Amino acid sequence: MVVALKKNVSEEKRAQLIDWLGGMGIKVHVSEGEFTTVLGLIGDTTKVDKDLIESLDIVDSVTRVSEAFKCCNRKFHPEDTIIDVKGVKIGGGNFCMIAGPCSVETEEQIVAVAKAVKASGANMLRGGAFKPRTSPYDFQGLHARGLELLKIAREETGLPIVTEIMSTNDLPLFEDVDVLQVGARNMQNFEMLKELGKTDKPILLKRGLANTLKELLMSAEYIMASGNEKVMLCERGIRTYSDYTRNTMDISAIPMLHELSHLPVIADPSHATGMARLVPPMAMAATAAGADGLIIEVHNDPMHALCDGAQSLRPEEFDALSKKITAVREASLG
């Protein structure tokens, strides 16, 4: 940690600050420049409150040099993490395509969609059984029954299943689920993250509504520090003042997360845009920017979908997109 002092700070005030830091076991290396004095803090500075020091009237600025995240940091783990979900590999040059309806509705629906997306190249099936809805009056999902239907679809197609968990009280129900999704609204539900860190399930961690990349990585860190290293990061759009799309998809998060972390990065163009007709261009954009996979909503009858029909592709649209994705990926790798 590097602390730059303001001009003309008295010797006494400076000594007080150094004493106080000493009391926390921090050694201070003073570097006096022509215009500024800079303190280099040496020792375990993770306990030092940056905001507090910044708020002192003798301090000009504080910079934390060492990274707050460790387990997910590429600096300490340069190789890409590869996660294996029943033989489907994610990360490290492998590309995965997760597709399926927003909500599981009936056996016919989920099985039909599963077969269709598999035929078009998907290698995992998504489908919501527990749905986070802004309103308590909206459809909340089929719950346990929905999970059963997903397993039937897996049985029929062999596709591993990905579905959202909203409370760790439900963990027993998810025992036979392949990938647990943490939704955007729970990205900083730290108690849940700690609990999921004690399982050995792969976790698809969605970026929160307005969270920074550092916060996303710190949430991954919560899971990993509790013992579970199988985390996939997911960009799904952030909140801005955008007037035509539901969210603004932050495509640059994909290469930036790859630089900061060794974890796989998945992109969700369906939630990021909220409009089916924007899904193909944004899916291709995310692929061109280096995503390790996509998660895309597909419904056989979007007009009658119980949830988020507006952003679902029809199976034939997904099929056309899937082919383009393969071509764009090859072109972007050069």
Q: What is the dihedral of CA 267, 273, 278, 281, to 10 degrees?
A: -30
Token digits of residue 91: 């990360």
Residue with Cβ nearer a second copy (7 or 79): 7
Q: Which of 113, 153, 213, 231 binds a second copy (CB under 8 A)?
A: 213
76-115 residues in contact with a second copy (CB under 8 A) are none
CA distance 143 to 148: 9
**How buried is 187 (Cβ within 10 angstroms: 0-12 exposed, 13-18 middle, 19+ buried)?**
buried
Q: Which stretch binds a second copy (CB under 8 A): 77-85, 89-97, 148-156, 318-326?
A: 318-326
Does the footprint of a second copy cover residue 231 (CB under 8 A)?
no
Q: Which stretch binds a second copy (CB under 8 A): 155-163, 173-181, 228-236, 268-276?
A: 268-276
Q: Which of 11, 12, 51, 200 binds a second copy (CB under 8 A)?
A: 51
Q: What is the dihedral of CA 179, 184, 185, 190, to 10 degrees?
A: 60
**Smallest distance from the beta carbon of 299 to a second copy, in angstroms?**
11
**Smallest distance from the beta carbon of 87 to a second copy, in angstroms?**
28
Token digits of residue 46: 């993770």
Q: Which of 103, 302, 315, 317 binds a second copy (CB under 8 A)?
A: 302
Q: How far is CA 170 from CA 129, 167, 189, 192, 317, in A?
A: 12, 6, 15, 11, 34
Strand order from edge to edge, sheet including 37-42: 27-32, 37-42, 2-5, 59-63
**Smallest distance from the beta carbon of 84 to a second copy, in angstroms?**
25
136-195 residues in contact with a second copy (CB under 8 A) are 136-138, 166-169, 185-186, 188-192, 194
Q: Which of 58, 148, 285, 319 binds a second copy (CB under 8 A)?
A: 285
